[in-house]
Structure 1
Amino acid sequence: MNNNSNKNNNNQGQITLSQADKLAIISGLISTFGGGLGTIATLLAIQEEQLEIKQDSDNNDLIISELHSLKKQVNTLQKELKQIKKMLSRLS
């Protein structure tokens, strides 16, 4: 008798879900998972864009540095050209 009363108590304490309820829970979980994946995809896209911007900035810094170097070289060449012109004018 005790076994039967225990089974009845256990059965009364359990909630049975219909197939529709189970499907609703599963679809809710899948929907939540999909939303999480969408959020992760958005974060990855933002990180990729930030990396691209940083690389562009680094490239710009390198180009600016090279331009400064070229400017110094041009200035040096201009000075040397002036000196050569002076030397040539003395010879004439």
Structure 2
Amino acid sequence: MSKNKDMTDLLSNSENDAAKLAVLAGIFSTLGDGLATIAAIMALEDAQQQSNNNNSNNNNNSDGNSNKIDELEKQVQYLTKELNKLKNSRK
């Protein structure tokens, strides 16, 4: 009878150990999922920041192009005035 009780205790301990391991595995799995979520959030934030930087650079280039166009318009106006002066001086 003692051997039978020992065998039952042994099986009970094995089931207990298996249940404990299952709980630990669940905890580790949950922690891993949490870390994966944090990594995904960080990747999204980084992508948004890069997108914002690209938009900012494009806006800066547009401003630079606008300034160049304004400067070219001023030069054309100046050259047109000079050309008109030359035409009037020949009359």
TM category (shorter chain) comes to 0.7 to 0.9
Separation in 2, partners of 1:76, 1:83: 11
Offset, 1:21 = 1.2
1:19-40 deviations in Å (ceiling 9; x for gaps): 1111111111100000001100
Separation in 2, partners of 1:65, 1:89: 36
Separation in 2, partners of 1:73, 1:83: 15
Q: Hey, what does 1:81 align to over in structure 2? A: 79
Q: Work out the percentage of aligned pairs sharing the same amino acid.
A: 25
More deviation, 37-46/80-89: 80-89
Q: Hey, what does 2:58 align to over in structure 1? A: 60
Q: Hey, what does 1:33 align to over in structure 2? A: 31
Separation in 1, partners of 2:62, 2:76: 21
Q: Hey, what does 1:23 align to over in structure 2? A: 21
Offset, 1:91 = 4.1
Aligned length: 77
Structure 1 residue ranges (4+ consecutive) displaced by more than 4 angstroms after TM superposition: none
Unaligned runs of 5+ in 1: 1-15
Report the residue type matching 1:34 in the other structure: G
Offset, 1:73 = 0.2
Unaligned runs of 5+ in 2: 1-12
Q: CA RMSD in A?
A: 1.6
Is 1:70 aligned to 2:60, yes or no? no
